[in-house]
Chain A
């Protein structure tokens, strides 16, 4: 059977599938709604570490000296400007603990009774920050932010003393207290958030999910309804059935990907640095890299619901282990090694490089090679398995 026939038959089948999709208004509507939900969910639920707003904390000042009172005043003034925490006064440590246990506050700031005397006596004044351990994300953010604020306050205090007690020129006082100035710069300009990190990953994941659940569902549905027989008795290469189905599902996935892209840019302020055509080309390559797996599952699943179940079971670990939501580098080594075997890892990484960092093809050549490799091997396994399974 010639290659021309193979492709023309595939496109016929793809056309037919897409026609059915566009006639099915409800499915089309849900198809577009799904990525909107997904983006909204991820965009608003995940906290970004740099900013805290109105996190309830308890403040306990056990110090009777003047420096403690000064400290509290200064801190409250800073907080009034930034609004990062909502302060509740506490009388003793037990009360702070109870408030955290009840969930009234998510952390506490404690000035111990020797705060003023230590500072006056030439020692460091200790500030204790307690955090709600049941909520690691908030407590990490709280710890980070409060540490920064208190260090800044300490710097200001030291500067003041240098100027007042040692008559240091105010202009050089900062350099004396903090000789190093750390600056953060980006290689591409723009404001970056967690969203810029997840948007490429979510695109990769949505396209993958669309193809991986769509393909087995589409084939096993036709198997159940009986229409697959109609294609099977036509004198066509059976390969064009999977090819056609894959084209249709890819188109479906890319449509969802495009919805995500538009949403991220318009609603969530994601800027795309790289070439948008390269982004779509990568998504298509991504589909090629894991479509073989979908075909193998289709061949083994006896009906539609089994196929979808099998797919979902596989998709979940992929979603969390491939660095879509959390960086792979944060995972323990054994999880990291699992993620090395998931094509989605490389797709998400390549997309991120292109979308966030504006990388071109040479910078993502490794990911490209891996994706092509995955695709070739999986397809080589899938095609004979599918052909055998179709004729029992």
Chain B
């Protein structure tokens, strides 16, 4: 359904998306997972024809995103990170306005507005101005707005950003339902590992504009666990930096992260790993409170692959579009 080939986007000298290729199958929920500033949003903007690739190409439903952008636009729906709603218009007026841009007839549009509002339990707020809505309500509106044209492909850019846990769950369930019932192909971005793990069929982990891993969630986890790998969460009463340091020098230990004043997380491999770790704690006279054998999470996958933790790197990396943008000289066709 979506085919991306060597897609690259540069803002001046900064490479936001670096020679990316992947395919999304019809009816799949595909996740782009990575920290802020990794280039996820830029990929979505290019695929939804809002930004022009510097080089490379992509097709959505067999239409080229630069040559047949009109056809692409009639196939897709976009839920952007910013809410695409007019605060001074009512829920119905907002949906009516955007629906009319898709040339929907009056009858079809009126029916669909009612159905969609019903679907997200906003029917009773139909004639209230969107500006008076809570963030969760607005986000639900924002999602159904993108569904007015029954898109075959839905792009979701951080759909649960800034929502409380309950609203997040509702939105995620809604996305899954949409995929199940309408067979909508969904491409979503998130920086939340849990979210990607919960709803995505396949996940592409993105870091610094590159895809560093692409597989199903369970395969990604298997790739770092397996017989050879041990992940332990150890509680030590008298935890010292000296102890952590000595543990890091062990050959079998890959990484040690301190969670708080008593817990550490150890990622190791090799058959002798367990013994070696316990021995090193004993020699430093550490008192072990608890040992837990951990199943790897996507977070560990990310850590393992990229060698650094998921964190917000926006302050140093993301090129603010508004600050460059719009000057034609920056663009290369």
Task: Answer whether residue A136 sits at the interface, using C-beta atoms and an 8 A cutoff.
Answer: no
Cβ-defined contact, B70 with A235, below 8 A: yes
Contact pick for B80, options A229, A235, A300, CB 8 Å: A229
Cβ-defined contact, A224 with B84, below 8 A: no
A235/B83 contact (C-beta < 8 A), A1-B70, A391-B51 known: no
For residue B283, give the distance in angstroms from its CB to the closest CB of chain A.
58
Chain A residues contacting B98 (CB-CB under 8 Å) are 230, 234
A19/B52 contact (C-beta < 8 A), A233-B73, A235-B102, A392-B325 known: no
Task: Answer whether residue B178 sits at the interface, using C-beta atoms and an 8 A cutoff.
Answer: no
Instruction: Please report the C-alpha to C-alpha distance between residue A303 and residue B320 in the assembled complex, in whole angstroms.
Output: 12
Cβ-defined contact, A388 with B103, below 8 A: no
Chain A residues contacting B328 (CB-CB under 8 Å) are 385, 388-389
Interface string of A329-356 (1 = CB under 8 A from B): 0000000000000000000000000000
Task: Answer whether residue A147 sits at the interface, using C-beta atoms and an 8 A cutoff.
Answer: no
For residue A220, give the distance in angstroms from its CB to the closest CB of chain B.
9
For residue A218, give the distance in angstroms from its CB to the closest CB of chain B.
12
Task: Answer whether residue B49 sits at the interface, using C-beta atoms and an 8 A cutoff.
Answer: yes
A20/B86 contact (C-beta < 8 A), A233-B48, A234-B73 known: yes
Cβ-defined contact, B51 with A16, below 8 A: no
Cβ-defined contact, B97 with A302, below 8 A: no
Instruction: Please report the C-alpha to C-alpha distance between residue A223 and residue B322 in the assembled complex, in whole angstroms.
Output: 9
Cβ-defined contact, A233 with B78, below 8 A: yes
Residues of A in contact with B, size category = 20 to 34
For residue B159, give the distance in angstroms from its CB to the closest CB of chain A.
14
Cβ-defined contact, A234 with B102, below 8 A: yes
Residues of chain B at interface, number, CB under 8 A: 41
For residue B134, give the distance in angstroms from its CB to the closest CB of chain A.
18
Chain B residues contacting A233 (CB-CB under 8 Å) are 48-50, 73, 76-78
Cβ-defined contact, B49 with A391, below 8 A: yes
Cβ-defined contact, A235 with B73, below 8 A: yes
Inter-chain pairs besides A234-B98, A300-B327, 5 sampled, C-beta below 8 Å: A20-B86, A230-B84, A231-B101, A233-B78, A303-B322
User: Hey, which bits of chain A sit against chain B, CB under 8 A?
Assistant: 1, 5, 8-9, 12, 15-16, 19-20, 23-24, 223-227, 229-236, 299-303, 385, 388-389, 391-392
User: Hey, which bits of chain B sit against chain A, CB under 8 A?
Assistant: 48-52, 69-71, 73-74, 76-78, 80-86, 88-89, 93, 97-98, 100-103, 129, 145, 321-328, 330-331
18 residue pairs of the A-B complex, CB under 8 angstroms, read A23-B129, A227-B82, A227-B84, A227-B86, A229-B80, A230-B145, A232-B49, A233-B49, A233-B50, A233-B78, A234-B98, A235-B102, A300-B326, A302-B322, A302-B325, A385-B328, A389-B328, A391-B52
